Amino acid sequence: MTQAREDNALDLAGSQAGQAGARPSRRRRRFSVLTRRDKILLGLMVGFPLFLDLALIWGPALVSIGLSLTNWRNTQPLTWDNFVGLGNFERLASAYPPFWEGLKHNVLWFLVLMLIATPIGMFFAVLLDRDIKGSRFYQSIFYLPVVLSLAVIGIIWQLQYSADNGFIDAVLGFFNLPKPDWFGDPNINLWAALVAASWRHVGYIMVLYLAGLKSVDPSLREAASIDGANGRQTFQHVVFWVMMPINVVIVVITTIESLRAFDIVYIINQGKNGLELLSVLITNNSISEANLTGFGAAIAVVLLVISLVPIVIFLSWMMREDTSA
Amino acid sequence: MTTVTAVTPETKPVRSRRRPIQWGNIGVHAFLITMAVVWLFPVLWAFYIALRSFADTTLNGYVAFPSSLTLDNFFNAWTQGDLARNYIQTLAVVIPGVILTLLIASMVAYACSRYSWRFNRLILMVFVAGNLLPQQVIIVPLYQLYLALPLPKAVSDTGVLYDQLIGILLIHIVFQMGFCIFVLSNYMKTLSKELTEAGLVDGASVLRIWWSIILPLCRPALAALATLEFTFIYNDFFWALLLIEKGAKRPITSALNNLQGQFFTDFNLLAACSVLVAIPTIVVYVVLQKQFIRGLTLGSTKG
């Protein structure tokens, strides 16, 4: 009680005399300096964007869950008769083969980006972090695909992959080798698309790791080299672990990128015939002639549940960083 | 030597010791040059195909030396695809999109990071997590919402939010906000606490402090984010594909979906079209590379 009154007095004195006195107590009662008008203004500054965020992102995410329990087809009004419980999910699991295909492709997408593209990006970063000549030049080139839209990337790679007019098959034909239809053959088109997606992902990862490597305390490397570690050992046993925060971000980004993958398969063949992904199954079912709104929403819920994993990882990382900072 | 290390406190001295071993470096350069060629090739190839005439490629094949190079494909793609229209639509979304996203995000970041109140961290997380959701998770209800939400005829010729550039603008702002709020709030946390407090003590309103003290100090972060957001919004394919009915009304990147079908029989035109779509982001990247990379780095590290 007396403590509080003292604080108040201090604060008054502080605000009259400028900065000097209020220091120790300021942190706790920062709001006390704010007028009523200020508080309303701050409320609006946060409230309006928060309303939009809830109305257009979190609201629809929740409504997706509700719709996933219906067989609503959007052509008639939605009523209680449309409620089918978990029927959509049963159908997804047992009577809709594209769902498992799509899920499998999303997993493959993640594995290829995580286990192939990400290490390549990291390797480029390690090479370019040493002060070799032209490091910036190489960086610019490896990074270039990242600024391109995935739709443009799909078309650029079509010029490579096309069976009749593409570069790759023209070269293979010159050597009398078989000429696969890279984007057309359902056994290989996912891999062909993944090459294009990785082409972009590598540059992204490289930039993030370059920033991470710059932030590693040089004395750690010196200490390691004094202890007799070579470059590779230093990276493997010291640098990689010091960069743990970046590693977490990269796993999160890679997971989310592979769940979001859409543009590139859509521009190739609208995500059909070997290129099914959960993301395209959602739109192809619910926003199309089929009008299977409820069924599409059920796939969206599956995608939502999966994406909560990286999101929770990221948020807990964010909280930990916040408290440790 | 000492002055150099003082200015750039990196591992320079250790690294320069490596210099004498030239053979290793030659290997590294050979590797990097090979990779750089591989990396650049698909883009250069698209340019090359775009510069050759259809007649030339049908006669000699695509993998051949050109008999002549021409800019005709670019002009033809431009006029046949009516690209001017799509570019104007892109501008109508990208410019207000970047400005409004940054303004709104900076307000939220300011209110959440410069003042502590009960839910400030929770609300930051709501925004950040919203930005991490795959867009497809929310598209089903959002599509219905856009079809149902009435707008006055003065703003929307369809009478609803669907099929309108303003609808695309809106979802971009809301979706991109999360990332910008994350970056800006981290940036603002590094600014001295005294700045806000001195302003408050002098009787400035919170709005005034935001506009005349905090925003000017955030200029580096804002510049980096503006560059990044320009490409993010410019490169959007998904929102406009689903929330606008026809290619003619879409911004350029999503219009590609239709242009691809239109030019499918003429690879040279298709290449020219993709190059035209890619050029604005490539130019921004070449001119503002530093901003671009700083934006991404700010997003992944703290400050």
Quote the pTM value: 0.88
Q: Assess B102–A contact: CB distance below 8 Å, yes or no.
A: no
**Does residue A302 fall inside a structural domain?**
yes
3 state SS of B184: helix
pLDDT given at position A6: 36
For residue range B254-292, list pLDDT tens digits in order: 999 888 888 888 889 999 999 999 999 999 999 998 888
Is A30 in Cβ contact with B142 (below 8 Å)? no
Query: Which residues in chain A touch residue B105, judged by CB atoms under 8 angstroms apart?
Result: 49
Structural domain of residue A282, as residue ranges?
97-324
pLDDT given at position B299: 72
Residue B137 has pLDDT above 70, yes or no: yes
A34 closest CB neighbour out of B141, B200, B278: B200
B134 closest CB neighbour out of A42, A293, A303: A303
Q: How far is A134 from chain B (nearest CA, A)?
A: 9
Burial class (CB in 10 A: 0-12, 13-18, 19+), B106: buried
pLDDT given at position A17: 37
Q: Report all structural domains of chain B as residue ranges with CATH numbers, in order of start.
A: 21-73 (no CATH), 76-300 (1.10.3720.10)
Residue B185 has pLDDT above 70, yes or no: yes
**Does residue A273 fall inside a structural domain?**
yes
**Does residue A314 fall inside a structural domain?**
yes
Residue B4 has pLDDT above 70, yes or no: no
| Alpha helices by DSSP H, A71-217 | 87-95, 97-112, 118-129, 135-143, 150-161, 167-174, 189-214
What is the pLDDT averaged over residues B294-299? 80
pLDDT given at position A106: 97
Is A221 in Cβ contact with B125 (below 8 Å)? no
Per the model's pLDDT, the better-predicted residue between B11 and B247 turns out to be: B247
**Does residue A41 fall inside a structural domain?**
no
Per the model's pLDDT, the better-predicted residue between B250 and A26 turns out to be: B250
- pLDDT tier at B211 (50, 70, 90 boundaries)? very high
Q: DSSP letter string over A222-282? A: HHHHHTT--HHHHIIIIIHHHTHHHHHHHHHHHHHHHHH--HHHHHHHTT-TT---HHHHH
**Does residue A1 fall inside a structural domain?**
no
Q: Assess A117–B contact: CB distance below 8 Å, yes or no.
A: no
d(CA A76, CA A16): 67
**Does residue A10 fall inside a structural domain?**
no
Number of separate domains in chain A: 1
What is the domain-level CATH number for residue A120?
1.10.3720.10
Cα A90–Cα A93–Cα A94 angle in degrees, nearest 5 = 85
**Does residue A68 fall inside a structural domain?**
no
**Does residue A40 fall inside a structural domain?**
no
| Alpha helices by DSSP H, chain B | 2-7, 12-16, 22-51, 54-60, 72-80, 83-113, 120-132, 135-148, 165-189, 193-201, 206-209, 215-217, 219-234, 238-243, 252-262, 267-287, 289-300
Those residues whose C-beta lies under 8 Å from the C-beta of residue B191, and which sit 6 or more positions away, are B114, B214, B217, B218
Instruction: Give backbone dihedrals phi and psi of B251, rounded to 5 degrees, phi first.
Output: -65, 165
Is A160 in Cβ contact with B140 (below 8 Å)? no
Those residues whose C-beta lies under 8 Å from the C-beta of residue A60, and which sit 6 or more positions away, are B138, B139, B140, B141, B142, B145
d(CA A113, CA A258): 8
Cα B99–Cα B235–Cα B165 angle in degrees, nearest 5 = 60
Stretch (H or E) spanning A312: helix A293-324
- pLDDT tier at B20 (50, 70, 90 boundaries)? low
The complex's ipTM works out to: 0.87
Q: Check the CA dihedral A202-A204-A205-A211 and report its sign.
A: positive
Those residues whose C-beta lies under 8 Å from the C-beta of residue B251, and which sit 6 or more positions away, are B86, B89, B90, B93, B94, B165, B168, B234, B236, B240
Q: DSSP secondary-structure letter at A69?
A: T
Instruction: Give backbone dihedrals phi and psi of B41, rounded to 5 degrees, phi first.
Output: -55, -50
Of A30-34, A84-88, B5-9, B230-234, which gets the smallest average pLDDT?
Answer: B5-9
Parts of chain A with a pLDDT under 50: 1-30
pLDDT given at position A266: 95
